[in-house]
A and B are shown apart, each in its own frame.
Chain A
Amino acid sequence: MLLRQGAEAEIHLTSWMGKQVIQKRRLVKTYRLKEIDEKLRKTRTKKEAQLMTDARRSGISVPIIYDVDINHCQIIMEYLDAPRVKDVLDDLTGEEQKSLCVTIGKEIAKLHRYGLIHGDITTSNLVLLKGRVYFIDFGLGEKCCEDEVRGVDLHLLMEAFSATHRNPRCFGWVIQGYRDIFGDASMIEKKIADISKRGRYMRSGTIT
């Protein structure tokens, strides 16, 4: 059963060795050249599986990977029967929003401390299950310990918050949680401010 058509993959709910699982299939994109398409789909599938495995080993909540098929650009993983942060955040009370955002910040900090970059942290790619925040979709992720790349990672979430969610304080809470775990994050916060200025037109909003 097709659960969701993402931008680059179809997410199917299917059964595999007697379990209900997610089958993530990166589809051929006919709009781009085969040379570009194949390379992207294969490298992203492989990288995603590697990063998710690494994240899980480091104690970060991600779905368990059961099987990877590089040639078919397909990953079989655990099914999380839970809502995305995108769908619940705006309906929470201010206090609940704060606590969720702080948790998100902490989880991102853990990820970064283990040298992992998600690459596409939007509230669509965060799942809330039993009070835990799970990361999904590591397709644009990488292994990296540079402040610049960490800054870009967080900046993406900042943009996603301002574009999709009503409460302007959310990202500040994320940073608060991030600091709790990461320790001195001042370099990264400075990077985020730098990256915002790099856009074609400067944003009036700043992190609070």
Chain B
Amino acid sequence: MICLGIEGTAHTVGVGIVDEQGKILSNIIKMYRPATGGIHPREAANHHAANIAPVIKKALIQSGKKIKDIDLVGFSIGPGLGPCLRTVATAARALALSLNVPLLGVNHCIAHLEIGKVITKASDVVLVYVSGGNTQIIAFSNGKYRVFGETLDIGIGNCLDKFGRILGLSFPSGPLIEKMAQKGEEYIHLPYSVKGMDVAFSGILTATKNLIGKQKPEDLCYSLQETCFAMLTEVTERAMAHTEKKEVLLGGGVACNKRLQEMITLMARARGAHFFCPPPSLLVDNGAMIAWTAVLMQRGGCHMDIQDTGVRQNFRVDDVEVIWKDVITTRS
């Protein structure tokens, strides 16, 4: 079986093609980069509309497959920005109907987890899902993926981007902040906000913003990263202790940050747990993760009619009944 997956929850439109073994035949992304400021949902949606067809073509060529070889279409049904979701949903419906193949709407957060699992061969993980809009600690429990910890206000990537914008860095600022942080020398104390397994970033962002002009920007980037990532690592460890799981997996664009990877690795090692991290092309938003999750869902017997494929901007992971459980529990 060959599945084509379309991702488009936020700034990236992506198309991936995978087979039923989870082998990635192609994975093409195109990212919307605003000239100034952050993501404008409508502009991002226009970007996706303009790019979806070429990206699908490119993905097909790279995979060596013909369009008629596609047996299943998956797309990101949510959570995400409404205009972007509706744009790719329309493309996915049109594609599935014209090919007369099944269509499945995939939860974007679960897709990050499933692709990480199949690529790294992890089985029962605690996922640290860190991106612009999302910051969640997710693990499987009682038939569902559940959120054990999450941000109480803004996503970690959003926090970094907002800070970067004030420093005059372009979007996305995370990678630039990471570079500047490497030049930081002095740690400046910032608020540390962990509540149980949840975190909050807006207070730290304000505190750091208020220090601009009073401290070196490199030191601020360094201190902001060190504080936020220490909080994330701490709540991850709490979730691991609570769920008694021995594997930790990274997902989301912010997981490309080497310092965050290092912190989670050190934490895992100290606990005798295993650390898994897919390559950057599968950490960021991409179509292959959507395609693979659609494969799993179909294998589990999931079916959607066109009228079931309305987008869900606030789609939570724990709203999904994981019916492809046999795949998850193969190891145990």
Interface residues of A (CB under 8 A from B): 5-8, 27, 29-33, 35-36, 39-40, 119-122, 124, 140, 152, 156, 159-160, 162-166, 195, 198-204
Contact = CB atoms under 8 A, between A and B. Distances in A.
Contacts of B264: 31
Which applies to chain B's interface (DSSP): helix, strand, loop or mixed?
Answer: mixed
Contacts of B153: 198
Nearest to B222: A33
A-B residue pairs, 7 tightest by C-beta? A32-B230, A31-B266, A7-B238, A7-B241, A31-B263, A156-B196, A201-B314
A122 B239 CA distance: 11
A148 to B, nearest CB: 11
B196 A202 contact: no
B309 interface: no
26 contacts: A5-B271, A7-B234, A7-B237, A8-B234, A8-B238, A29-B233, A31-B262, A31-B263, A32-B226, A32-B234, A33-B187, A36-B187, A36-B227, A121-B196, A152-B195, A156-B196, A156-B197, A159-B147, A166-B142, A198-B152, A200-B135, A200-B151, A201-B316, A202-B316, A203-B316, A204-B319
Contacts of A36: 187, 192, 226-227, 230
B147 A6 contact: no
A44 to B, nearest CB: 10
B240 interface: yes
B14 interface: no
Contact of A122 (B79, B195, B242, B263): B242
B79 A201 contact: yes
B141 A164 contact: yes
A203 B146 CA distance: 12
B268 to A, nearest CB: 9
B263 A32 contact: yes
A199 B153 CA distance: 7
Contact of A33 (B230, B234, B316): B230
Nearest to A35: B187
B146 A163 contact: yes
Interface string B290-301: 000000000000
Contacts of B240: 7
Contacts of A124: 241-242
Contacts of A163: 141-142, 146-148, 318
A140 B194 contact: yes
A33 B142 CA distance: 36
Contacts of A5: 241, 271
A123 B270 CA distance: 25
A3 B264 CA distance: 24
Given A31-B263, A201-B316, A204-B316, 8 more contacts: A7-B238, A39-B189, A119-B195, A120-B196, A156-B197, A200-B79, A200-B133, A200-B151
A199 B230 contact: no
Contacts of B226: 32-33, 36
B150 interface: yes
A63 to B, nearest CB: 19
Contacts of B141: 163-164
A35 B198 contact: no
A165 B155 CA distance: 27
B267 A31 contact: yes
A204 B150 CA distance: 16
Contacts of A122: 196, 242
Contacts of B318: 162-163, 203
Contacts of B271: 5
Nearest to A36: B230
